Structure 1
Amino acid sequence: MDHFDLGRLTDFDFEVLCQDILQETLSLPFEIFTPGPDGGIDLRYFFNKENKIIAQCKHWPKSTRGTLISKLKKEELPKVRAQDPDRYILITTCPLTPGSKDKIMEAFDPYIKNPSDIIGLSEIVSLLGRRSDIVRRHLRLWLSSSSVFQTLLSKGVLLRSSFLREEIEEATLTYVENPSLRRAQDLLQERNVCIISGLPGIGKTTLSHILAIQAMQEGYEIIEISENINEVYDTWDEEAPQLYLYDDFLGQTSAHEKLGKNEDSRILKTLSRVSRAHNKKFVLTTRDYILEQAKLQYEPVARFDFDPWKSLVNLADYAPSIRAKILYNHVYFSSLDLAGKRQFSERESYLRIINHRGFNPRLVTTAIDLFRLTSLDPHVTPAKFVLENLENPTRLWEHIVAEQLDEASVHLLEIMLTIQPCLLNMLKDAYFRYRSVLGATSSPLDFRRSLKVLENSMVTIGQDRGRESTVAYHNPSIRDYMGARIRGERQILVNLVKSASTLREYANVRVLIETPEGQSFKNDRELKSACLERLDHFSNPDSSEEASYTAMILAERIKLSDIFVDPGMLEHGLALLDSGEYIGRWDDPENLVELVNAIFKSKHDFMEKYLAKVTLGATKFIADDMSDWDNATYAESMLQQIVAPIPREVTEYVDLTIAELIDRAFSEAEDGEYDYAIPEMLEYARQNGIHTYDDAAARGLAEQVSSDKVGSFSRLSSGGASKSSEAAQINQIFSTLRDI
């Protein structure tokens, strides 16, 4: 029989569950009551004065039987006598024995009619084991069941990342079902793909975790994508049901963060492939404004119709009662002391928070979690602290960084902006380089101490199975804050540039300088000199392995010259362009795309003379290997990212090669040799008007495979809510904190 960890329910969850149990088992309507001067009533059935049933719900899973009986006699019995009901029912999460039931029944005579009106933990679990319909109506109850929880804690292949497992477990404690869940479930059921978009902190990642745990119950393996879309193909198993999770798939602050290296076309191709698969699902999250930004900057994204797969999470999904439950859950399961939790039961406190124009689940939970670390004023209550941080979200991180962290810890946060998420040893090396540039001495012990100070508040440390620990900012709002803070600090930008050991680290700083805030330093000689020195360093094969990325370095030189409006910075680059030696040993098509686009967008008129020659050389390089469908579509996706006109000879060659690949694949399919990409080819041919092969049998084969879907991704039904008004329900929710 399934077991349920009822300790994972809040007091309010338990009252709503008890209401549902009584209504289902007795076939009578019960009301939930807010504690008041009459007391003694949690649930009531009232037909007339002569036919009144009251019930009390005691969610005391950690109490002993002796403590329960003592409190019932001392505190609850007088209330029951005052109510004088015809029948009294006690429901408790405290384990009971026949002897303890006899003592309770004796004390509450004549109100308890028989032992079955005393419902203890074992009776609740037994009933729930028989009534899956009740369980499915209560999301957190379902998530607490042993079958679900053991799946979550499994050390098998269901979750590769222990860090993800911890995040999902945390989500099961505090998640509140809202309309966005139903929309996402429908998309995943119908299309296999769900792109969850919305504002930062609105609950996109939490929703993706709830979808993941539901999929695990259906037998799906959960694969977290942490670096790039190649991880999908590295883990793809044709036979196994798999759900891929890709959080912030377009980046956390800008589309360039993830799509600058060809992710766009590969992601779109993968989405199409998953949508046709019979045993695969894909859940992705992104900030909505970054998706719109990507559409403006990347042609493949602009042409792609995301709407059928997109599920927007917005504040409209969070009615006041939903917001109330979100706040309540985070308070209930927080590390606040009992006095701090009880302060949220004050009507003015919780109403001002849940009705605040800037209500945001992430800000709420972050403020609650960090209250002890940041609030030094004894007159500031936890509720007031949450409200203050809704008014000024940056205040929370500013206070920690400016007032509470030592210099070494701040330096660790700063260098992380150029490299995170990253492996622990990579961060350690970057930290030592940065501290060296600053003239500060550091030891491994200093690094460990700084990491310890920041862990669980500003940074997280996770470990994928078989891999080194990965370090990242605790949540995207910290990255937002650090980016805004550093963009306006010239000396920090200089020091970060000087400490960069890879082109990736350097480019991440250059992006900050390109922002409006950073542009205020375009005449700064020290910053300009530091950037140029780094690029010269990367260009020198005797000092840096990055020198083999010739095209990428040249693209960065062009961008730097545009930032500082100094054509003299291109002297070395022009020599490479003149000689035609602008493709390095390690350069890939993505780097060539960056180079062509940098030349095309350059502010210097003299760069125009290089455009046609470099575009021809780069596009021929990109289209050099189109021997199979994957290579051909990859090459085409790269060409689509080039903003300069592409030579006609190249486009004709690419179009002809792709048409030949499609023709050959369908011909082979007719002979019984089936290519997995045939459905994708058919769609490509339809969209691009290719008619080189139009065999009805091959089309039928492709369509048959495309329509083969898994049809049982279940959806939890909503229910169990009180029929009272929303205002009364909110009052009831927080009233349970008074007696916590």
Structure 2
Amino acid sequence: MSGIAAPDYDFASLSPYDFEVFVRDLLSAQDRLVYSTFRVGADGGIDLKAVSDEGWVVAQCKHTPSADRGSVLRAARKEAGRAAGMGFVPVRYVFVTSADLTPASERETREALSGVAGTVEVHGRGWLNAVLALHPEVERRHFKLWISSTQAVRAMMQDGVFLRGESRIQRIERNYLRFVHHEACEVARFTLEQHGCVLLSGAPGAGKTTIAEYLLLLWWHRGFRVIVDPRTVDQWWAWLEDDTPTVFFFDDVWGQTHHQDHGSRHHETDMSEFIESIVERQTGSTTAKVLIMTSRVQVLQETVRLSDASRRAMDRLAHCHVTVERLPYDIRGRMLFNHVHLAITDPQARRDLAASSWWQQVVGHRNYSPRLVELVVRRNRARSAQELIDDLDEALENPFEIWGTSFRALPLVDQQLLLTLSLMDSQLAPWQEVVQRLGGIPLSDSHVDAALERLDGSWITKGFHAGNRILALADPSQRDFLIRYLSVSPGAMTAIIKNAVSVDDLITVCRRGEAIELENNLRLFSSGEDLFRSVLDMCARELLARLRELWDLYPCDAADLAGGSIREVTSLVEALTLIVRFHGDRYKAAGAALPGGWFAGAMSRVALLVDSVGMTSIEPLAELVTELAAAVEDATPLWPARHPLTGAISEIRAVIDYTWCRHEPRIARHQDTSYETDLAGALVRYADSLAGLGLGPTIDTYSPADVDAYLAHHLEDYDPNEVAEQIDSIEDVVGWNFADTRERLAPLLDTDEEPALSPPGRTPTALPRPTSIVAPPADPHASLAALFRSLGTP
């Protein structure tokens, strides 16, 4: 959609403060002066102030779109009386109203203000639109002018691809009128324009998604197709390669509340490759493909720590990372005002809210967040101002309980459905998969449909993707509440465990019990801030028994593996090593010890499956060995020599040695001359694990010199900080000095390290601010007090 050439706005979509800021920016652009907000109270007579070569210029803003001639005249006479309190005579006085003026009413208004300044100007709606046409940059910045909940947002949905569909549109429609522009918005816009990519990180509810949606609106207004939360990786690349200018948006790109809660094993790798492709396309001053992402700080830190692919992606995003921190006091206050101004329509409630300073406690509260304010005001059914104030106070004191009353009033099936959904894919979950995990409750399709009907719009959103009905929680804060509810509810957690239908279901639960401060996240119930630690202590017997039961349901022979997929075998082994690790941490709990007979049978099954799968590449073998090694490398340093799982670890070591020695020669003979390049790639990925196990290429049918020729190619895109260490590990495994590789990579090894990505939470480098963006008033309390007093104005 192109910019509007001849605007004809009534400005009704702007709040009084929005109108004042809009006039400030428009006058600054038109007069080439810097107007600043200068509201000193109800009797100050000044909204905007600038200094010119001749002296002071004062502007007064009256946002009364439907005012008639008499109302405008009365307002002008009132301002003329206030002008005496300014303490000086400006050289120019500008009276700006959003009312539609006739030539006669404009003249009468100017006469009412005569004597206020050397020059008096009166401007109404027609003048504002005419001047706005000369300054499209002001129009773009104030998107509330050109967006309409009934037109523009719907047009954006039709033009783009919204895979969260109606819920995303409803959110934008609900929030755009409440939006407050602030510095982080400009930093994000500048970053996206300069680099074609921006990652917004911050605490829950800090306003990351709101800023991202603001950027979406700006880029859509520039003619870009909008793609929101695309789920199918193939579609990402199809949209990336076509000729349509596109803005991609991934909200909570690595998960809402925990690393890997997006439901895909390979999401980090896919996302890393996509980010690199976007970054590589940024050439010149414009780009046709741009990327917006958001992530909670904790999830971002965890992802970077646990995923090599994500760590490399973050290296590429060093200049694209914008931290959304605690908002300034005046911005928080204006956000609160916008929500209250639009939500509270009862005249008496508005007068009561205008008569006290209740807002100061809300704005200054340690738990203030834009999302919390939005949720409380939106759900409030207050019949009085005091009820709204009490609701805000209660929510701020205990923000996670904002959903508690509503949740506890729900039927059991509704509660279990929501708790199950909270542990599933944060991007959207197929309806059938959610229902499969409600096995402990007598259900029928009609019962589930009734539950969905009760929850729709308040707790969940529904949609369709690839022909399937899909579900999602309506707000991330609901997911926070549900996860915390599970963490103190052994009964609810036991139901989740018993109704799990795959090992992956319980791996998700177990990983929420890992201590986030541990470097390698090795143990399930270690001390620290791990959210599920205590509740899983109480459910250890049920959890570990169910893990073994579900592992036994994996395919048991080559025929069940659909032709012998090495990926299936690797997944089986990965799950087994995690089960060993979890048993090892809880072996002292009653009934939680790893049964020796079960484990011996499991290892025999693994060996038979490996033999039945035809491996024709060293890569899957190295991956399989690495998965088997995980239980050895991760668990052994933590356990004493006489730990009850010592025997199990020995059996895993034996299977590793058997697997490698039996299959590596076969692969080498099968691959012939292509073996060296395949081996080079595997060594880059798995050298550390192989070195730790004392394994390496043991046959004499390959040439280390040929491996040397291929190795540099695989290391070119590796993290420069780790290349030298990685080459050392590879040389230890092979027993060969890769001189050719070192020579080829010498420039990379010798180049000084580029500035590293600032850790999440650190303020990014300051960016230039447009001249029309001015500092907030020195006394935000006075400015906000006048704003909230305006609630009582009819």
Q: Calculate the TM-score normalised by the size of structure 2.
A: 0.70
* Cα distance between partner residues in 2 of 1:169 and 1:716: 28
What displacement does 1:237 show? 0.8
Q: What residue number does 1:577 align with?
A: 606
Matched, 1:288 2:297: yes
* Cα distance between partner residues in 1 of 2:346 and 2:290: 42
Matched, 1:521 2:554: no
Alpha-carbon contact 1:16-1:721 (below 8 Å) kept:
no
* Cα distance between partner residues in 1 of 2:433 and 2:483: 21
Matched, 1:417 2:458: no
The 5 Å alignment of 1:453-472 reads: 453-462=454-463, 468-472=468-472
Alpha-carbon contact 1:45-1:54 (below 8 Å) kept:
yes
Q: What residue number does 2:696 align with?
A: 648
> Cα RMSD between the aligned structures?
5.2
Q: Deviations over 1:565-620 (max 9, x none)?
A: 32214243122134354887999898876554245435622233323643885897
Q: Work out which of the residue numbers 341, 365, 369 in structure 2 matches 1:356.
A: 365
Q: What residue number does 1:395 align with?
A: 401
Taking a change above 3 Å as real, the CA distance of residues 140 and 650 of structure 1, as seen in their structure-2 partners, is farther
Q: What residue number does 2:762 align with?
A: none
Matched, 1:493 2:493: yes
Q: Calculate the TM-score normalised by the size of structure 1.
A: 0.75
What displacement does 1:107 show? 8.4
Letter of the 2:395 partner, please give it.
N
* Cα distance between partner residues in 2 of 1:629 and 1:470: 46
Taking a change above 3 Å as real, the CA distance of residues 556 and 340 of structure 1, as seen in their structure-2 partners, is farther
Matched, 1:213 2:217: yes
Q: What residue number does 1:508 align with?
A: 508
What displacement does 1:421 show? 4.1
Taking a change above 3 Å as real, the CA distance of residues 728 and 157 of structure 1, as seen in their structure-2 partners, is same
Q: What residue number does 1:726 align with?
A: 780
SS at match of 1:387: helix
Q: Work out which of the residue numbers 631, 634, 641 in structure 2 matches 1:601.
A: 634
Q: What residue number does 1:704 align with?
A: none
Taking a change above 3 Å as real, the CA distance of residues 595 and 185 of structure 1, as seen in their structure-2 partners, is farther
The 5 Å alignment of 1:21-170 reads: 21=26, 32-33=38-39, 36=42, 57-61=61-65, 63=66, 68-69=68-69, 71-72=71-72, 76=75, 79=78, 82-83=81-82, 91-96=96-101, 98=102, 102=104, 110-111=112-113, 119-132=123-136, 134-135=138-139, 138-140=141-143, 144=147, 149=152, 153=156, 155-157=158-160, 162-163=165-166, 164-168=168-172, 170=174
Q: Deviations over 1:663-707 (max 9, x none)?
A: 7xxxxxxxxxxxxx99959999998889569999xx9xxxxxxxx
Q: What residue number does 2:519 align with?
A: none
Taking a change above 3 Å as real, the CA distance of residues 207 and 629 of structure 1, as seen in their structure-2 partners, is farther
Q: Work out which of the residue numbers 317, 325, 338 in structure 1 matches 2:334.
A: 325
Letter of the 1:396 partner, please give it.
I
Letter of the 1:283 partner, please give it.
I
Taking a change above 3 Å as real, the CA distance of residues 454 and 481 of structure 1, as seen in their structure-2 partners, is same
Q: What residue number does 1:481 align with?
A: 481
Alpha-carbon contact 1:409-1:454 (below 8 Å) kept:
yes
Q: Work out which of the residue numbers 308, 312, 326 in structure 1 matches 2:318.
A: 308
Taking a change above 3 Å as real, the CA distance of residues 292 and 653 of structure 1, as seen in their structure-2 partners, is farther
What displacement does 1:463 show? 5.2
Alpha-carbon contact 1:629-1:661 (below 8 Å) kept:
no
Q: What residue number does 2:440 align with?
A: 437
* Cα distance between partner residues in 1 of 2:677 and 2:243: 21
The runs of 5 or more residues in structure 1 that have no matched partner are 664-676, 700-712
Letter of the 1:567 partner, please give it.
L
Alpha-carbon contact 1:20-1:134 (below 8 Å) kept:
yes
Between 1:277-286 and 1:352-361, the stretch displaced more is 277-286
Alpha-carbon contact 1:30-1:43 (below 8 Å) kept:
yes
What displacement does 1:288 show? 1.9
Q: What residue number does 1:534 align with?
A: 550
How many percent identity over aligned positions?
A: 18
* Cα distance between partner residues in 1 of 2:344 and 2:676: 54
Taking a change above 3 Å as real, the CA distance of residues 636 and 472 of structure 1, as seen in their structure-2 partners, is farther
Letter of the 1:454 partner, please give it.
L
Q: Deviations over 1:5-25 (max 9, x none)?
A: 723321111123334555666
What displacement does 1:125 show? 1.7
Letter of the 1:579 partner, please give it.
L
* Cα distance between partner residues in 1 of 2:63 and 2:475: 33
* Cα distance between partner residues in 1 of 2:224 and 2:31: 38
The 5 Å alignment of 1:633-672 reads: 639=686, 645=692, 647-649=695-697, 659-660=709-710
* Cα distance between partner residues in 2 of 1:634 and 1:5: 63
Alpha-carbon contact 1:557-1:570 (below 8 Å) kept:
no
Taking a change above 3 Å as real, the CA distance of residues 173 and 717 of structure 1, as seen in their structure-2 partners, is farther
| Higher helix proportion | 1
Letter of the 1:508 partner, please give it.
T
Q: What residue number does 2:594 align with?
A: 567
SS at match of 2:158: coil
* Cα distance between partner residues in 2 of 1:168 and 1:631: 49
Q: What residue number does 1:232 align with?
A: 236
* Cα distance between partner residues in 2 of 1:30 and 1:198: 29
* Cα distance between partner residues in 2 of 1:76 and 1:650: 92
The 5 Å alignment of 1:163-202 reads: 163=166, 164-168=168-172, 170=174, 172-202=176-206
Letter of the 2:710 partner, please give it.
E
Letter of the 1:731 partner, please give it.
A
* Cα distance between partner residues in 2 of 1:640 and 1:274: 30
What displacement does 1:180 show? 2.6
SS at match of 1:127: helix
